[in-house]
């Protein structure tokens, strides 16, 4: 039964914190005062330094094994340990930080050595990413974009049978806060029959859920749909920055290439399955007439609880809005419920041919748009490919992103009777082409 009085922490800023109350406890990699990147846990306005805590002797048993695997500035080893170690660490962290903890005095006495303020720290990528794959499971987005590129044929016939994806570029995934250099490339301007080369004129964002892979599989083996959830280490926000003019010219027949690989931004905190447990939902029933998934993609437990209810938000600020103190403009309020395939289905499908997944691999869900204009997860959809510019409080208009614009992604989980948790932010500011 839901608790009516959620657990409280002696870390005062954690109680009621928008993103990181005691119930969340996401892991990440940070540095403080010029330190080497090290693992930590977000709690309220602070970061709990796991490596310093390990040295202080507050972990034993499986929780200690888990923390030892986070050392070295990347969480791949911890991801590879899987669920049991992650749960042992979470239980120990709950013990340490709940109000009345016997270790409260010992931990607090070490002050910023153990619990620096997050604002004094720099965040890094949480893992060394071997491979990055971007899916296309947001069906509203697939339909909206399909209409723009192929008005007569929006959803291709494979969509409802195959979780569509493409192999992205791991080398250019960056943590929130990294600037986005406007890419240059080859485009075919409207009305022309020959391409030109120059800065992207139709720069866009994509609102996506990021998925961190935990235990992988050997090449030649596959991950069964019933086991797939246990191969996920956690979740983040992902902005799949997109150069729409480059994309439109290059994407056929093999899919996106240089239009996507210049940067992909992720929020730095890894939100665990345990923190998200209260926000799981049944996968929405498929509309009448849609095919049932093939057996290798169908698992009753996954259908009953494999979806999430996570609010997703996109905010835009321009240089002039920031200078004049105007608040960010909300472009989008969407939700992970608009996924046609579950995360477990993505994992099962990705590995069904024997493709090896490895701890620290990253998936993007694909753009998660809702059915209405204020729920669209890209400017391509919001402005209908630039035909319907949006007006901002500053008097500026936007079809696509201009230099100096900043995009902020946020996510929040809310359910009556449970503490709300968030993902933190995924930010990026557009710089002029070089
Ligand atoms: Mn994408």
Query: pLDDT for 92-121, tens place per residue?
Result: 999 999 999 988 988 888 888 999 999 999
Average pLDDT over residues 307-324: 98
Residue linked to tokens 């049978």: 161
Of 124, 146, 168, the position where a domain reaches its end is 124
Q: What is the CATH number of the domain that holds 95?
A: 2.30.30.230
364 CA distance to ligand 1 middle (Å) = 7
In whole angstroms, how far apart are CA 128 and each of 28, 37, 70, 75, 366? 12, 12, 12, 8, 21
Residue 5 forms part of a structural domain: no
In whole angstroms, how far apart are CA 34 and each of 48, 74, 334, 353? 16, 17, 37, 44
377 CA distance to ligand 1 middle (Å) = 10
Query: pLDDT for 220-248, tens place per residue?
Result: 999 999 999 999 999 999 999 999 999 99
Per-residue pLDDT at 149: 78
Q: Residues 150, 120: one domain?
A: no
Q: Residues 69, 191: one domain?
A: no
- pLDDT above 70: residue 30: yes
Q: Residues 185, 112: one domain?
A: no
Confidence class of residue 151 from pLDDT cuts 50, 70 and 90?
confident
Q: Residues 293, 311: one domain?
A: yes
Residue 2 forms part of a structural domain: no
Confidence class of residue 125 from pLDDT cuts 50, 70 and 90?
very high
Task: Tell me the C-alpha distance between 76 and 27, whole Å.
Answer: 12
Q: Which of 17, 46, 141, 231 is catalytic?
A: 141
236 CA distance to ligand 1 middle (Å) = 14
Confidence class of residue 314 from pLDDT cuts 50, 70 and 90?
very high
Per-residue pLDDT at 111: 85
Task: Tell me the C-alpha distance between 46 and 50, whole Å.
Answer: 12
Q: Residues 186, 151: one domain?
A: yes
Two structure tokens written together for 355: 């493709």
Residue 229 forms part of a structural domain: yes
Q: Residues 287, 219: one domain?
A: yes
Residue 252 forms part of a structural domain: yes
> Using the 8-state DSSP alphabet, how is residue 113 labeled?
G
Query: pLDDT for 203-213, tens place per residue?
Result: 999 999 999 99
Of 76, 98, 124, the position where a domain reaches its end is 124
318 CA distance to ligand 1 middle (Å) = 23
Q: Residues 362, 396: one domain?
A: yes
- pLDDT above 60: residue 3: no
Q: How many CB atoms lie within 10 A of CB 79?
A: 29
Residue 280 forms part of a structural domain: yes
Whether the CB-CB separation of 135 and 141 falls below 8 Å is answered with no
E strand intervals along 203-305: 203-204, 207-213, 232-239, 242-243, 264-266, 280-281
Q: Residues 364, 426: one domain?
A: yes
Does 124 participate in catalysis according to the annotation?
Answer: no
- pLDDT above 60: residue 4: no
- pLDDT above 70: residue 130: yes
234 CA distance to ligand 1 middle (Å) = 19
Residue 7 forms part of a structural domain: no
> Using the 8-state DSSP alphabet, how is residue 33 labeled?
T
Average pLDDT over residues 344-355: 98
Two structure tokens written together for 296: 């290798």
Task: Tell me the C-alpha distance between 375 and 333, whole Å.
Answer: 5
115 CA distance to ligand 1 middle (Å) = 36
Q: Which domain holds residue 33?
A: 12-124
Which range, of 140-154, 219-233, 288-302, averages the lowest pLDDT?
140-154
Q: Residues 105, 136: one domain?
A: no
Residue linked to tokens 């472009």: 331
Average pLDDT over residues 321-343: 98
Task: Report the predicted TM-score, pTM, of the whole model to 2 decimal places.
Answer: 0.97
Average pLDDT over residues 286-312: 97
Q: What is the CATH number of the domain that holds 385?
A: 3.90.850.10
Q: Residues 112, 167: one domain?
A: no
Per-residue pLDDT at 1: 46
98 CA distance to ligand 1 middle (Å) = 39
Per-residue pLDDT at 427: 98
pLDDT mean across residues, the chain: 96
Of 124, 145, 175, the position where a domain reaches its end is 124
CB crowding 156-187: b at 16 or more within 10 Å, else e? eeebbeebbbeebbbebbbbbebebbbbbbeb
- The count of domains in the chain is 2
242 CA distance to ligand 1 middle (Å) = 8
Average pLDDT over residues 5-28: 95
256 CA distance to ligand 1 middle (Å) = 9
Per-residue pLDDT at 273: 98
Per-residue pLDDT at 112: 84
Whether the CB-CB separation of 366 and 340 falls below 8 Å is answered with no
Residue 1 forms part of a structural domain: no
Q: What percent of the chain has pLDDT over 70?
A: 99
Per-residue pLDDT at 5: 64
Task: Tell me the C-alpha distance between 280 and 270, whole Å.
Answer: 17
Which residues contact residue 114 at a Cβ distance below 8 angstroms, ignoring those fewer than 6 apart? Answer: 48, 49, 52, 53, 56, 107
5 CA distance to ligand 1 middle (Å) = 39
393 CA distance to ligand 1 middle (Å) = 28
Start-to-end CA distance of the chain, whole Å, equals 56
Average pLDDT over residues 275-292: 97
Residue 136 forms part of a structural domain: yes
Q: Residues 150, 169: one domain?
A: yes
Per-residue pLDDT at 349: 98
Q: Residues 96, 158: one domain?
A: no
Average pLDDT over residues 378-387: 97
Which range, of 14-23, 147-156, 340-349, 399-408, averages the lowest pLDDT?
147-156
Q: What percent of the chain has pLDDT over 90?
A: 93
């Amino acid at each position: 039964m839901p608790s009516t009085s959620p657990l409280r922490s002696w870390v005062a800023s954690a109680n009621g914190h928008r993103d990181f109350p005691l119930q969340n406890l996401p892991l990440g990699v940070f540095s403080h005062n010029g330190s080497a990147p090290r693992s930590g846990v977000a709690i309220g306005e602070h970061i709990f330094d796991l490596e310093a805590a390990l040295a202080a002797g507050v972990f034993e048993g499986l929780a200690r094994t888990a923390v030892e695997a986070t050392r070295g500035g990347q969480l791949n080893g911890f991801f590879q340990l899987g669920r049991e170690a992650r749960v042992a660490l979470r239980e120990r962290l709950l013990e340490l930080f709940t109000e009345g903890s016997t270790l409260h005095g010992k931990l607090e006495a070490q002050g910023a050595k153990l619990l620096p303020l997050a604002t004094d720290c720099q965040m890094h990528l949480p893992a060394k990413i071997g491979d990055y794959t971007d899916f296309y499971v947001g069906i509203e987005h697939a339909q909206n974009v399909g209409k723009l590129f192929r008005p007569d044929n929006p959803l291709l016939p494979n969509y409802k049978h195959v979780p569509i994806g493409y192999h992205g570029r791991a080398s250019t995934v960056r943590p929130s806060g990294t600037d986005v250099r406007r890419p240059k490339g080859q485009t075919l301007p409207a009305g022309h029959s020959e391409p030109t080369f120059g800065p992207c004129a139709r720069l866009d964002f994509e609102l996506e859920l990021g998925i961190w892979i935990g235990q992988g599989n050997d090449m030649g083996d596959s991950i069964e749909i019933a086991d797939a959830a246990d191969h996920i280490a956690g979740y983040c926000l992902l902005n799949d920055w997109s150069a729409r003019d480059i994309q439109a010219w290059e994407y056929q027949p093999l899919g996106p290439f240089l239009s996507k690989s210049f940067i992909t931004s992720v929020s730095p905190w890894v939100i665990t399955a345990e923190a998200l447990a209260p926000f799981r939902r049944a996968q929405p029933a498929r509309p009448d007439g849609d095919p049932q998934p093939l057996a290798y993609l169908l698992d009753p437990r996954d259908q009953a609880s494999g979806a999430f209810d996570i609010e997703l938000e996109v905010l835009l600020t321009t240089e002039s809005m920031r200078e004049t103190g105007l608040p960010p403009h909300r472009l989008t309020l969407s939700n992970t419920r608009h996924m046609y395939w579950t995360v477990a289905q993505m994992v099962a499908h990705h590995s069904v041919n024997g493709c090896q997944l490895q701890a620290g691999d990253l998936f993007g869900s694909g753009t998660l748009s809702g059915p209405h204009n204020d729920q669209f997860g890209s400017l391509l959809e919001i402005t209908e490919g630039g035909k319907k510019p949006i007006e901002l409080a500053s008097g500026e208009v936007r079809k696509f992103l201009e230099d100096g614009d900043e995009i902020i992604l946020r996510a929040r989980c809310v359910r009556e009777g449970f503490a709300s948790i968030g993902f933190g932010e995924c930010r990026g500011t557009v710089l002029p082409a070089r």
